[in-house]
Structure 1
Amino acid sequence: MKLYKILTVTLSLATATFGFSQNTSIGITGGYQLSSYDAFDFSEGYNGANIGLTGVYSSSENWGVGADLLFSRSGGSFSQYDISDERVENYRTQMDHIRFIPKFHVFFRDLEDDFRPTIFAGPGVGFLVREAQLNGNDRSSDMQPVDVTGTLGAGFHYQMIPGLWLQANTAYTIGFVDLNKGQTVNPDRLSTNNWSVNLGLAYSLNKTRKAVK
């Protein structure tokens, strides 16, 4: 309940702030992501997805800031070892996070153009909401509750009709936190690695077409 209240207040403040801005769009986004964990003897990735809210604010023609608030499902496989470095079992795991990803955008072409390519980068934080072993026991207590990441990507915004923008992008996300708290996994880092492809629709809050992002 406390987390729900925090998210509600945060979203309310963000919406109010965007509402008084001249160069702002908000909308929904979702897509496919291929994830893995940066661990020794990695075997295969995991086909996951993400969905959530997206927003962009820009006060100039060629740069802006934004943020995504996403529900993200990722996973991967890794090997578990005992204290004598003998392999015990290969595990395939699935994790669900709520991820907040601030972004710095660089836009190309003119402000009045309907097609606007962009590149972006930013940090991120993810809060573990569920972890499940697909071939073993639940190990949620062994996993870090908070994941810290960095994201780099590129895409475009295309204005389909005045005020309504199609957003498409591909991004790579790397984790900076060793997600495993236990002592049974090999000493290499068990960190997030995601490739994602997203599509979204965003509505401009601006009153004039020139200000639309």
Structure 2
Amino acid sequence: MTTPRSFGPLGDVALLRGHAPYTLAGYAGFRAVIDTDGAVPARLKALFIAVAAIDRRYPELARRELARGASLGLTVRDATAGLIVLSSLRGEGAALEFADVIATVFDDSGAPPPQDLPHAGPGEAEANFLAYFGTIPVPLAQLMRLCPGAADAYYLMRRGSIDANPLSPKHGELLLLAILAAGYSPMAATHVRGARMAGATDQEIAEAVLCAVPAAGIAAWIGVGAMLAPD
């Protein structure tokens, strides 16, 4: 008996092949969605999977998926979007781990010359928060009150993750959403709304969330799927 299709090392696990045909068939079904062009291009979905894998501390899965994305046309500039988002969402350790993965997949990083670092002007962070969130969330209001410099830093990193992302703002939001789904984060709701504001359809949002399944299992979908219920 063979598995329904080839979908990587999981299908080569003898115990699953011998005892768990339903599990493998289900996993193959998920991979059929996320490995092919659909509402979101397959090369970007490979990047989403790789970044979600770093979030869950699976660097080998990340390396395999990023290499698959590169074979589909993903560029090192595209991959830098994952580095940017991990820097802000998951911090230095995760970003450095993904930088190592990028270096192993792409022979030449092609990094451009360093740029001067921007600064937040007076009132710029507050205006950005109001425009994006509609109202300033309590944690950000407290950060602005207690440590204004850190609030400016939050704004700059948030702007880097979406507005200055090498991907489009829509795909930057979808990448953020894939990571948050992998971590079962309640912040996913904010970025479902952000993705819609950036022009994403519910089909695109669904495919981005499903990119968390290889690293985080089907529970990654449960937390977000209810947010996509029709009105």
TM-score bracket, normalised by the shorter chain, equals: under 0.3
| Structure number with bigger Rg | 1
* More helix, by proportion: 2
* More strand, by proportion: 1
- The normalised TM-score by structure 2 is 0.20
